[in-house]
Structure 1
Amino acid sequence: MLFPRLTQLDLTGPFEVFARAPGAAVHLIWKNRRPVVSDRNLAIVPTKTFATCPPLDIICVPGGPGQVELMEDDEALAFLQKVAGEANLVTSVCTGSLVLGAAGLLRGYRATSHWTSVDQLSLLGAEPVSERVVWDRNRVTGAGVTSGIDFALTIVSSLYGSEIASSIQLQMEYDPKPPFETGSPKTAPASFVDAARAAIDDFIAERRAATVRAAARLR
């Protein structure tokens, strides 16, 4: 699912994996076919609209700053509720899980999100889990941004087997060896974590306010 001001890697990481799965058809879905601009100004063209979207086996919602507005977009939330009632897997990457939560689709489920916002899931009836990929029944959620590749490989492995998923990982040369041990609050120095939080304090407060409003609507 696309939306304005999404984080493109939340979407394009899983897209790259899913598009390599045998026989898979991957759709980029939004309200209309006009290009959708990401939070870093990458334009992505939808291939389907809410009205023309075929039945889906999997729905995936990425995250990004535009998620705040999406949590209060009745048309988008209604679309997700409809699709979730038909799809085999209802999934998200990063703060896309908060959108699923705003649609009432994570109540009673374990789920994850970006490390700065995973705690907000509890406001929407989910059980927050600080893991890279969380699978609970037919809900699958990935943590922040880059976890979308791990998330998608995990799903492909479940659907097609580990051999095909491993082959896709090799095709992509997904062999991460990051130059710094700062990719998670679990490994980054406390000073880095504090600085990262301070830099986005105002936005996290805005996101939390949207989550609180979504929780009130669910009640």
Structure 2
Amino acid sequence: MDIVIPLFEDFEPLDAIGPYEILAYVPGATVRFVTAEPGLVKDVLGSMPVHVPTAYQEVERCDVLLVPGGGSFLRMSADQEFLAWVRRMHEGTRFTTSVCTGSLVLGAAGLLDGLTATTHWAAVADLEAHGATYTAERVVRQDRVITSAGVSSGIDMAVQLAALLTDEVTAQAIQLYTEYDPQPPYDSGSLAKAKPEVVARARTFG
């Protein structure tokens, strides 16, 4: 089972590494990172460069495509060569997925038109500009297209995906092994819960 995660300059690290940590434990799965030009790829925070040895054009098909978000989403959403590759991959995937603003890449590729989808709360207008209907749910499955909201929700999505690729006992075992049992110290992880001053501060991070 081939799971492919494209990385580009300024990718959001947890968007990619969170799902990778879960999906790499799926029995029989191989998770590969790909990029435009093999070499070091810098994350959006700047301190975790990742060496990616494979160009995305070398990949002819995959079982799962997982597109993370980050500061590069506008650039990648305008890269017609990359979008054409995303469409080719989607033709043969079991599941095409995204985390955070990675959904905007799927939208730009025409894969979300008419579907309900989610993304980071700050990118709702961009998502709907691609013909999708936004929902604030953390994970949204529309047949074999699965989108997840901002950053940490990618782990939720990966656990659900692990169940779809294997079975619920295996997915729960992976969740247990990684001790994914979130108990955040504050209840401010969504727009519906955060105070106005918290939302204002969060907007300065983008």
Q: CA RMSD in A?
A: 1.3
Alignment match, 1:72: 78
Aligned residue for 1:143? 149
Cα contact 2:110–2:130 (8 A) shared by 1: yes
Residue number in structure 1 paired with 2:40: 35
Cα deviation 1:16-62 (Å, max 9, x = unaligned): 11101001011101122211111112111224222322520110100
1:26 paired residue number = 31
Report the counterpart of residue 3 of structure 2 in structure 1.
Answer: none
124, 142, 154: which one aligns with 1:118: 124
In structure 2, distance between residues paired with 1:105 and 1:46: 26
1:45 aligned counterpart, secondary structure? strand
Instruction: Indicate if the aligned counterparts of 2:40 and 2:49 stay in contact, CA closer than 8 A.
Output: yes
Structure 1: gaps of 5 or more residues: 204-219
Contact kept, 8 Å, 1:2 with 1:30, in 2: the verdict is: yes
* 2:108 is equivalent to residue 108 of structure 1: no
% same residue: 38
* Deviating 4+ runs (over 3 angstroms): none
Provide the TM-score with structure 1 as the length reference.
0.87
Q: Which has the higher strand share?
A: 2
Higher share of residues assigned helix? 1
- Corresponding residue for 2:185? 179
Residue pair 2:41, 2:49 contacting (<8 A) in 1 also: yes
Superposed CA offset, 1:121-150 (max 9, x none): 111011111110000111100100001100
Selected match of 1:2 from 2, 7, 14: 7
Distance 2:158 2:84 in 1: 25
Conservation of the 8 A alpha-carbon contact between 2:116 and 2:140: yes
Q: String of CA shifts for 1:159-208, please: whole Å, max 9, x gaps.
A: 211100000011111111111112111211122113323x26xx6xxxxx
Structure 2: unaligned runs, 5 residues or longer:
1-5
Q: Which amino acid aligns with 1:190?
A: P
Amino acid at match of 2:59: C
Structure 2 residue matching 1:26: 3-state secondary structure: strand
What count of residue pairs does the alignment treat as equivalent? 200
